[in-house]
Amino acid sequence: MKHPIIALMTDFGTEDGYVGAMKGRILSELPDALVVDISHNIKPYDIRQGAFCLNNSYPNFPDRTVFVAVVDPGVGTERKGIVVKTSQHYFVGPDNGIFSFVTHREGYQASEIMLKAFSEEVSHTFHGRDVFARIASWIGGGKDIKKFLDPLREVVSFLKSPHKNNENEFILEVIHVDHFGNLVLNFQKNDLLGYEDVSGVTLKIKEFELHRIHETFGMVPRGELLLCWDSSGFLQIAQNMGNAAEKINSSVGDQLRLII
């Protein structure tokens, strides 16, 4: 028999027992749940790192997986709790941009979680356990939770679509630096649909100019910068056997030009 899958990602670390509390709550609500750890080592409050981690993971999971993502510096303030439903998955967590990649890549319906619909008191400091873990378990178990949800038109996102300057030029942005120093850009494979010849692309960032999109790091000499697709289909700037972010001295938010 297939178990409902609840996949967890937090910035809690494990040593204070808060992750254990969430797991216990899920298994109490949904005894046949399969609880899967994605990460509990997201840098505290680093919503972008969390969003990127989730982006690398979620497309590989089976249909109907429920993801709970808690990187939540605003817990206890007016920030909303939300449920995002795509054609394949459910996502539960704070409305702070943690689902930016999901809503950028997928069609979706969003709902706000209504705290006042909970019959008992909800802690002010631990929505991961008292709100998100429970909502996720109820979704995983196929419960009707309509009374907890209110339709929501817009979800917070830090991801911008690439800006088209003219027919052959995009303004891109660095959206993430991974732990190898690769610079991930807001440009995906399907942003190239409609262009017949993409062999001659040029990317300009600071004093550097890169040509072509390569298949692997090893296709350029050691120490050289290159363009390639990351394993989620985003364009990235890498350095063969090196750290591109350091070499270029670039970081999240930097802009650059792509000429096709």
* Side chain identity at residue 238, one-letter code: A
Site string for its own copies, 225-244 (x = CB under 8 A): ------x-------------
If one asks whether residue 85 binds its own copies (CB under 8 A), the answer comes out as: no
Query: H helices within 72-220, ranges in order?
Result: 100-105, 127, 133-140
> Which residue, 142 or 168, has its beta carbon nearer to its own copies?
142
Q: Which of 47, 79, 100, 123 binds its own copies (CB under 8 A)?
A: 123
Instruction: Report how far apart, in Å, the C-alpha atoms of 228 and of each of 46, 160, 184, 219 are.
Output: 25, 20, 10, 10
SS3 225: strand
Distance CA 255, CA 175 (A): 10
What residues does 6 pair with on adjacent strands? 35, 66
The residues facing 110 across adjacent strands are 84, 152
Binding of its own copies at residue 156 (CB under 8 A)? no
Residue count, binding to its own copies (CB under 8 A): 60
Q: Does 218 bind its own copies (CB under 8 A)?
A: yes
Considering only residues 24 to 53 of the shown chain, the ones binding its own copies according to CB under 8 A are 24-25, 27-28, 31-32, 34-43, 49, 52-53
142 counts as binding its own copies under rule CB under 8 A: no
Amino acid at 258: L
Nearer to its own copies, 218 or 253 (CB): 218
Nearer Cβ to its own copies (115/164)? 115
144's CB contacts (< 8 A; 6+ apart) are none
Sequence-separated (6 or more) residues with CB below 8 Å from residue 164: 170
CB neighbours (10 Å) of residue 28?
Answer: 12
User: Does residue 3 interact with its own copies by CB under 8 A?
Assistant: yes
Does residue 183 belong to the site contacting its own copies (CB under 8 A)? Answer: no
Q: How far is the CB of 130 from its own copies (least distance, A)?
A: 8
Residue 2 or 147 with smaller CB distance to its own copies: 2
- Smallest separation (angstroms) from its own copies to the CB of 206: 25
Residue 19: name the closest of 49, 44, 48, 39 by CA: 39
Contacting residues toward its own copies, per CB under 8 A: 1-3, 5, 7, 9, 13-25, 27-28, 31-32, 34-43, 49, 52-62, 65, 76-77, 123-126, 129, 178-179, 215-218, 231
